[in-house]
Amino acid sequence: MIPFLDLRAQYHSIKSEIDEAVLGVLESAQYVLGEQVSNFEKEFAAYCGASEGIAVNSGTSALHLALLAAGIEPGDEVITVPFTFVATVAAIRYTGAKPVFVDIAADSYTMDVSRLEKAITRRTKAVLPVHLYGQPADMDPIVQIARRHDLLVIEDAAQAHGAQYRKRRVGSLGDLACFSFYPGKNLGAYGEGGAVVTDNPVFARKIRMLRDWGAERKYEHVMQGYNYRMEAIQGAILRVKLRHLDEWTSSRRAHAARYGEELAAIGIEAPAEMPYGQHVYHVYAIESVHRERLQQHLTGQQIQTGIHYPYPVHLTGAHSDLGYKRGDFPVAEHAAARVLSLPVYPEMDPDAPRQVAAAIRSFPAIRPRSTRAVGEVQEWSSR
Ligand SMILES: Cc1ncc(COP(=O)(O)O)c(C=O)c1O
């Protein structure tokens, strides 16, 4: 059996450090924010190459507060991509602003920069690119276009802890960046968690107030805020895990390299790593026109897979009122119909990519049978 993810294996690999950190919090009786959270904020911001970090209770809250700090309000437009987890878009809508979509590029699955400028109107206030699957969006042109139009750039880095763009870590590329520490993320808490990082002290101060009822001092509520505070236990756990993140990223990248070799040997295209960056493989997705049948076939061979994501956000019921229709973002729609995420996590058996590739090869739709086999394989994996 090859699980999609094994969080218990990771816990066992660092059990003594985690147990000590958690027990320390229980003894401290400081359960919300406090020293563990503020130290984590400093350590995580430094890791990202940013000067300020604000820890919150989820990646969604991080996005919501980053948008509010950026001054986004009803009537504004925020440009993002339709091929993302729904939270990216929901957070824009929490502010009352309108999400405006730009299609993704077929190779990177991130924002197609060539379409960005056309989507800008006089209502546009910010651009929210997503570093999907752990691959940075093409940030230099995004930031250049945004600067030309006086727009802020907010990175959705929920899936991309430690990923690099031209040798700089995500989180230091735009005006604000948002992370999720949901348990399955590359840096995952043992519960919910998130953070905003930024170099801008004014944004940081506002986000610190917004996450804690709009107050800097108890009961002095100067703005309408939220209860988006991080729990101390999560801060303590994340501090331990941050020390292991680079080693875990190397392990994910080694698995991805093995997948690349094994898949190439059976004629299947591996996900592209763009030349400008370093992918951290939160998700390792291949494409198949027979995706549902292939997934069933792999399940039958005891290999767990996932689909990230089966519907682009513009075609979900929750956001149908935005007025988009099928065909509006063909690249995102094409990807949503074909992507299949294979197991990848740091503690995975290094032989797993070979086993997964062997199981894919035994899928009847691609089994080479004749000289036409190569064509069949290409059709199967074509983007
Ligand atoms: C791209 C993206 N944005 C935002 C989020 C929201 O994070 P959270 O689940 O911590 O609220 C996630 C996580 O699931 C995500 O993958």
User: How sure is the predictor about 366, in pLDDT bands with cuts at 50, 70 and 90?
Assistant: low
Question: Residue 310 is inside which H or E element, if any?
Answer: none
Query: Can you give the pLDDT at residue 305?
Result: 98
56 has pLDDT over 70: yes
Q: Which of 64, 180, 231, 308 to mutate to test the pocket of ligand 1 (most atoms within 8 A of CB)?
A: 180
Q: Is the pLDDT of residue 68 over 60?
A: yes
Pocket test for ligand 1, best of 130, 159, 181, 185 (most atoms within 8 A of CB): 159
Residue 349 pLDDT more than 90?
A: yes
How far, in Å, is the centroid of ligand 1 from the Cα of 80? 14
Residue 24: CA atoms inside 13 Å, Cβ hemisphere, count?
A: 17
pLDDT, one tens digit per residue, over 12-33 is 999 999 999 999 999 999 999 9
Interatomic CA distance for residues 346 and 21, integer angstroms:
22
- Residue 233 pLDDT > 50: yes
Residue 171 predicted with pLDDT over 70: yes
**Ligand 1 pocket: which of 182, 186, 226, 309 to mutate (most atoms within 8 A of CB):** 182
User: Which residue(s) pair with 111 in the sheet?
Assistant: 104
For residue 277, count other CB atoms closer than 10 A to its CB: 24
Confidence of residue 365 (pLDDT cuts 50, 70, 90): confident
pTM of the model: 0.95
Q: How many angstroms is it from 59 CA to the middle of ligand 1?
A: 5
pLDDT tens profile 278-327 = 999 999 999 999 999 999 999 999 999 999 999 999 999 999 999 999 99
pLDDT per position as a tens digit, 241-274: 999 999 999 999 999 999 999 999 999 999 999 9
* Mean local confidence (pLDDT), 167-173: 98
Residue corresponding to tokens 């049948």: 293
pLDDT tens for each residue of 299-311: 999 999 999 999 9
> Are 185 and 44 in contact, with CB atoms under 8 Å apart?
no
Check pocket membership of 60 for ligand 1, CB cut-off 6 A.
Answer: yes
For the chain, the average pLDDT equals 95
Tokens of 162: 């430690």
Mean pLDDT of 53-61: 99
Residue 367 has pLDDT above 90, yes or no: no
